Structure 1
């Protein structure tokens, strides 16, 4: 792999500057599958020393007043001063170690892991997909599309059994409950199957009518509410 591997956008800095756990560590991730690899932890001795001195300084402050704080501040300042250079050196070593785990695609310029790399083409598998995988996926897609087409044709054959002429009420006019095209309201039992007929003139009654719009006769719905 080339020496200009920078990992400018696919890493996280997990380093810790101060404390007894102070050190350098970097997490790199594959820009195709997001799998991660962490560089070995490299201790930052000055930062660790500042952590130990801080603990000693807190103890000394209780005995000697400001002397402990002064020592703590001095060591912490030393750790801070050397942090930048030490971190840069640790990052260079981490990048050198990461080169064994990642490849840079010449087409899309992403860094990918071994599993997402095509050795034959020298490209990532997003830019140069595995042929066997693509063929298998295409076969499955063909089966899926053919099955869906068969299902549509079968559904067309079943359409003759569906009553498309009779008007359906989706909401009960009496209680407002969703009826979903049923014959009766599932909440109050109101009859929804078909428009009622006027008992007087036998004209079709609009849903929820309390009086016949043709002859003025009171309907069953009107009597039920009375």
Structure 2
């Protein structure tokens, strides 16, 4: 493998520099379906040692006092000393392993997994979709579009049965519940099929009226006209 580092855009660095769990690990993902593969965890011994030293130093500081600050600085220096070189080496090893799980598309240059790559064409499924899959999808789409067209024609033939002249109340004027054009409110049972009528002057009351617009009588005494 050359010194060039590939996979520059499709990986996450999961490495940890400090602590007893310090180590290197990288997660690579397919640039087509986003499935992931993680490189084996490689421990960073200097970082782990610094983690143990920090814990020992913390215990000693609690017992003896005065050691915390200087020891923390020393421990951090140990962890930082070889981090960059060790990470680069671990990253190169991870890339070598990742090349067994991903393929580079000759057209878009994306790195994709085995399922998203065609070895025959050297292209990913995005650049060269599987013909059988596309044909099956096109057949289904054709059936769907034809079914929609048939449904529209059927709907047009049934339009004459729909009552389009009768006014419908979509919201109950008494409780505010959505009535969906029914004859009665599904929440409070208020009758919606006919408009309210003022008990004083028998004028029709607009939906939601609190008083009769003709005589001023409170609308809560109104009766249905139907």
TMscore range, shorter length: 0.7 to 0.9
Secondary structure of the 2:166 match is coil
* Residue in 1 that maps onto 2:31: 31
Number of paired residues?
A: 217
Secondary structure of the 2:82 match is helix
- Alignment of 1:95 with 2:99, yes or no, is no
The alignment's TM-score, normalised by the length of structure 2, stands at 0.77
Cα deviation 1:66-88 (Å, max 9, x = unaligned):
56875664354122111011111
Q: Which of these two proteins has the greater Rg computed from alpha carbons?
A: 1
Q: Which runs of 5+ in 1 are unaligned?
A: 199-203
Measured in 2, the distance between the counterparts of 1:211 and 1:65 equals: 86
Answer whether contact 1:32 1:116 (CA < 8 A) is retained: yes
* Residue in 1 that maps onto 2:180: 180
* Residue in 2 that maps onto 1:57: 57
Secondary structure of the 1:37 match is strand
Answer whether contact 2:197 2:223 (CA < 8 A) is retained: no
Secondary structure of the 1:103 match is strand
* Residue in 2 that maps onto 1:123: 123
Cα distance, 1:24 vs structure 2: 0.8
Cα deviation 1:81-107 (Å, max 9, x = unaligned):
110111111111111111111112222
Q: What RMSD in Å do the two structures reach over aligned CA positions?
A: 3.6
- Alignment of 1:133 with 2:133, yes or no, is yes
TM-aligned CA distance change 1:54 to 1:193, over 3 Å: closer
* Residue in 2 that maps onto 1:14: 14
Q: Which runs of 5+ in 2 are unaligned?
A: none
* Residue in 2 that maps onto 1:161: 161
Residue range with higher mean Cα deviation, 169-178 or 7-16: 169-178
Measured in 2, the distance between the counterparts of 1:136 and 1:145 equals: 14
Cα deviation 1:8-66 (Å, max 9, x = unaligned):
12111111112222111111011111111111111111112212222333344456655
The alignment's TM-score, normalised by the length of structure 1, stands at 0.77
Cα distance, 1:171 vs structure 2: 3.4
Answer whether contact 1:56 1:68 (CA < 8 A) is retained: no
Secondary structure of the 2:40 match is coil
